[in-house]
Amino acid sequence: VYDNKSYTFAYKQVEGRISMSDKQLTLNAVEVLTAGPAKIKSTLKLLGEIKLNADKSVQIVSRVGGIVEKVSVNAGDNVRKGQVLATVSSQTIADIRSDLLAAQKRVGLARTTYEREKQLWEEKISAQQDYLQAQNDLQEAEINLSRVQQKLGALGAGTSGTGQARYDIRSPIDGVVTLKKVSQGQVISDIDSLFEVSDLSTVWAEMTIYAKDINTVKSGQQVTVKAAAFDANAVGKIAYVSSLVGEQSRTAMARVVLNNPNKTWLPGLPVNIELTSSEADVPLAVSIEGIQSLNEETVVFGRYGSYFEARPIKLGRKDDKYAEVLEGLNAGEKYAAGNSYLIKADIGKAGASHEH
């Protein structure tokens, strides 16, 4: 009898019971909790992989064909918006810049002619028709110049440069060079993808969902993403669940957008993803830390006065914090939780000395 309640010890005294004072509890940092109700979360564990955020990744092409004169960056380099990634020698650019020079000279010549004809007309020396023709020629020359300038602008080439044929390929965003498929001397066309630059401040964690779990996974659910290769985890929400199941794999895909300010989550990294699929209130539960195995039975160590007694229990549902107790322990009973393995070790020592 303890605390006006009767308990039946499951083991002989030496076998499953040990004395430990409150002072010893403190020294050994053994945590004592009270068995009672708890919320048990049902979690779904899924496998996933970190992927580039495709919304923040850019495939970079040269807008003109030519020969690569210089490559200024490598895969893995950080780049800023507008930074030169490579330089190309392009006949197309050379031709357009030649057109530009000719158009600029034509405008200069047309302006000189216009100003002269205007003065002659104002002085009543020449006919108005000659003045209007000169005005029209100037306007046409200016339109042609503007057209050539716009053509260069559309290609991302400056209207002036150190070389007539030189064309700089620049990064359109701040980010990291995640793919480089070009080298010096290479002949390229205007459709070749040369670089991929990605903003890694956010990444996607994509998970595979099996058919039986598809109805469990919903957009907006909170998930925990854990790295498989090292100790790192992050919390995010499901942003997208695919509406199609693969014909071969019979799986669907869901995606979480993760903030990645320290570049912890690198594309290609395998991850484990946990989400809470349901939550249940149970009348009696104990901490997972308090559950031990003794003589091939699942036990917790109940606290009765200065003694700990091994109590065989039958468990029901459990999560990473609590386990439901179906038999073997009453609500309100105290038990060892944190560092309960020390009590198991002491009982083991006591049993060994008794056998001798």
pLDDT tens digits, residue range 103-147?
Answer: 899 999 989 988 888 888 888 887 888 888 888 988 998 999 888
- Same domain (yes/no): 290, 180: no
- Here the CATH number for the domain that contains residue 84 is 2.40.50.100
- Same domain (yes/no): 108, 179: no
169 HSE (CA, 13 A, CB side): 32
- Looking at 172-181, 187-196, 236-245, 252-261, which range is the least confident one? 236-245
pTM score, whole prediction: 0.57
Do 282 and 324 form a contact (C-beta atoms < 8 A)?
yes
- Same domain (yes/no): 72, 101: no
Query: Predicted confidence band at 158 (pLDDT cuts at 50, 70, 90)?
Result: low
- Same domain (yes/no): 13, 101: no
Distance CA 339, CA 317 (A): 22
Query: Predicted confidence band at 219 (pLDDT cuts at 50, 70, 90)?
Result: confident
- Same domain (yes/no): 345, 210: yes
- Same domain (yes/no): 242, 291: yes
Do 289 and 31 form a contact (C-beta atoms < 8 A)?
yes
Query: Predicted confidence band at 4 (pLDDT cuts at 50, 70, 90)?
Result: low
CA proximity to 203, closest of 273, 269, 265: 265
In the predicted model, is pLDDT for residue 12 greater than 60? no
- Same domain (yes/no): 77, 103: no
Do 210 and 107 form a contact (C-beta atoms < 8 A)?
no
- Same domain (yes/no): 210, 293: yes
Number of domains, the chain: 3
Distance CA 175, CA 77 (A): 9
| Amino acid 7: pLDDT | 52
Number of residues written out for the chain: 356
Domain that holds residue 123: 91-163
- Same domain (yes/no): 145, 292: no
- Same domain (yes/no): 78, 124: no
DSSP character string of 259-301: E-TT--S-TT-EEEEEEEEEEEEEEEEEEGGG-EEETTEEEEE
Report pLDDT digits (tens) over 313-346: 999 888 888 999 999 889 999 999 988 888 888 8
Final residue belonging to a domain, choices 174, 199, 224: 199
